[in-house]
């Protein structure tokens, strides 16, 4: 549900609010269980890739927006990330390709293109943990389908948390958690929750 605390939860998982929540978050960390608060933020964020609702597009080239903080982005990895996010064709059609400037002073991009660049950024990073906050909500159903199919193999062996309103987006999740007013209302799979026939 809107305003139920989904974004807040993903931000907590990125250690943005360490001092501001009650309770404990235990994570598997280098084969041990550890409290999230005890892990150094920089080390943790290295392991996490996210596509957030307020994800930022830098005033820079597409290459630098996908490979953030990388001085010499790897072209093969850029192309792989762009392919996964279904934005490769759009980039290939631009006269300057990956060197096209976007952001405030650059070429304007649509919300959907913006989201796909943010997804490509998360893929390029190759993280152990992926957090998606409505990462495909500006895309048409077909675009979303292609990206989710591409990502299926990429998700293997990683921990992925996907926030979505659209139920089809999370259909294949191992576990679906239904949130309302900051509380868990239901947990299960698409199948068990549908059979339950309540909120989900």
Binding site for Mg ion (CB under 5 A): 6-7
Whole-number minimum distance, CB 58 to Mg ion, in Å? 22
What is the bridge-based pairing of β-strands 129-133 and 48-51? parallel
Question: Is residue 182 involved in binding ligand ATP (CB under 6 A)?
Answer: yes
The encoded tokens of residue 196 equal 């339950």
32 binds, among ligand ATP, Mg ion, none (CB under 5 to 8 A by kind): none
What is the bridge-based pairing of β-strands 129-133 and 159-163? parallel
| Angstrom distance (rounded) from CA 169 to CA 140 | 12
Residue in 7, 137, 143, 159 binding ligand ATP, rule: CB under 6 A: 7
Whole-number minimum distance, CB 135 to ligand ATP, in Å? 12
State phi, psi for 56 to the nearest 5 degrees. -100, 135
Applying CB under 6 A, the span of 6-14, 30-38, 64-72, 81-89 interacting with ligand ATP comes to: 6-14
Question: Is residue 199 involved in binding ligand ATP (CB under 6 A)?
Answer: no
Non-local CB neighbours of 164 within 8 Å, separated by 6+ positions: 132, 134, 136, 137, 170
Whole-number minimum distance, CB 96 to ligand ATP, in Å? 34
| Angstrom distance (rounded) from CA 106 to CA 87 | 17
Question: Is residue 55 involved in binding ligand ATP (CB under 6 A)?
Answer: no
Work out the angle between the directed axes of helices 75-84 and 141-155 (0-180°, nearest 10): 130
Applying CB under 6 A, the span of 3-11, 39-47, 55-63, 187-195 interacting with ligand ATP comes to: 3-11
Residues in contact with ligand ATP by the rule CB under 6 A: 2-8, 53, 182
């Amino acid at each position: 549900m809107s305003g139920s605390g989904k974004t807040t939860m993903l931000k907590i998982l990125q250690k943005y609010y360490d001092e501001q929540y009650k309770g404990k978050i235990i994570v598997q960390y280098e084969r041990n269980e550890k409290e999230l608060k005890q892990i150094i933020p920089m080390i943790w964020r290295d392991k996490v890739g996210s596509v957030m609702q307020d994800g930022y597009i830098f005033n820079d080239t597409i290459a630098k927006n996908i490979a953030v903080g990388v001085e010499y982005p790897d072209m093969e990895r850029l192309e792989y990330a762009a392919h996964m996010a279904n934005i490769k064709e759009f980039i290939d059609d631009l006269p300057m390709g990956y060197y096209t400037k976007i952001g405030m002073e650059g070429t304007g991009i649509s919300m959907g293109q913006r989201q796909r660049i943010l997804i490509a950024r998360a893929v390029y990073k190759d993280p152990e943990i992926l957090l998606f906050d409505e990462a495909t909500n500006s895309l048409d159903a077909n675009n979303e389908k292609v990206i989710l199919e591409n990502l299926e193999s990429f998700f293997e062996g990683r921990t992925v948390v996907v926030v979505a309103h659209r139920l089809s987006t999370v259909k294949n999740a191992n576990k679906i958690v239904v949130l309302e007013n900051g509380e868990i209302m239901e947990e299960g799979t698409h199948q068990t929750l549908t059979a339950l026939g309540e909120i989900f």
